Amino acid sequence: MTYVLTLIADRTATSLTDAQIAAARDAVDGAPAKVLSEGEAVDIAFRMPPSWPRIAAAIGDARIDTIVTRARNRRKAVLIADMDSTIVTSETLDEIAAYAGLKDQIAAITMQSMRGEIDFADALRLRVGMLKGLSVDALAQTWAKTEFMPGARELVATMRGHNALTALVSGGFTWFTGRVAGALGFDEHRANVLLEDGTALTGEVGEPILDRDAKLATLRELASERGVRLEATVAVGDGANDLAMIRQAGLGVAYHAKPIVAAEARAQVKFADLRAVLFAQGYPAASFRVD
């Protein structure tokens, strides 16, 4: 078989039914389904290029993600992940801004940037500048409220457990990526440096800005470091600054993404959590790790 269609249900709201699996199998003229997680995820192998309209018609409006991959070399050797709204549930800069009474204003700029409506680096400098003088205590208070995305721990631990190189690469700040990487076990992390004088934020960010081009460069660098081609990498993110790496990765996943990203990514996760990135590589839930 040449391709694999993976069905992944939003496990908080629904379960895969035999009828849905049969309809999807008929849509691709596929082999019998291989269960990856009972009621949550299955693989269906098939030969011919997929007809997305037929797949969509088979699933209807159910909260089920559909991802098609090549059958060979599904498991990837490098994982590169965005942080904000991907590995963690929040936009950390927006949450910092809440302590300055500027969350709504800064969140609006963040959204424009993530949609690709304004330049990422310019938007970052603008937002950080608005926080000049804010106590550094706001960083610790923000971290205390930061939550990991469901499935994040399994994604990192499982891929590391299968000898993949894992990297957290964010347009956010090293103050947070270091803590997230340490908590979840990422091999390395890269982000922007938020400048402060020991007491308060200076309103500046270290240069050069880590933007979409830097994320792509990191993907290429890590693939070279691991000695693999880009086809052996997986990149996951949600915003416009993730699009370049998502386009170039062997498995580029738009995760609950902004429209500009969802429109161009080859794989989308609209309903499920980050476990979907493992299912799309053919990992059964029984093989998932958390440490």
Burial string for 201-220 (b: 16+ CB within 10 Å, else e) reads bebebeeebbbbebbbebbe
* Sequence-distant (≥ 6) Cβ neighbours of residue 172 within 8 angstroms: 83, 84, 92, 93, 191, 192
Active site members: 82, 84
Please tell me the distance from the alpha carbon of residue 243 to that of residue 237, in angstroms, as a whole number: 8
Local structure of residue 198 (DSSP, 8 states): S
Count of residues making up the chain = 291
Contact between residue 75 and residue 282 where contact means Cβ atoms under 8 Å apart: yes
Contact between residue 76 and residue 234 where contact means Cβ atoms under 8 Å apart: yes
Per-residue CA distances from 74 to 13, 40, 77 (Å): 27, 19, 10
Cis preceding-peptide flag for 208 (omega within 30 of 0): yes
Q: Is 286 exposed, middle or buried (0-12, 13-18, 19+ CB in 10 A)?
A: exposed
Please tell me the distance from the alpha carbon of residue 89 to that of residue 83, in angstroms, as a whole number: 9
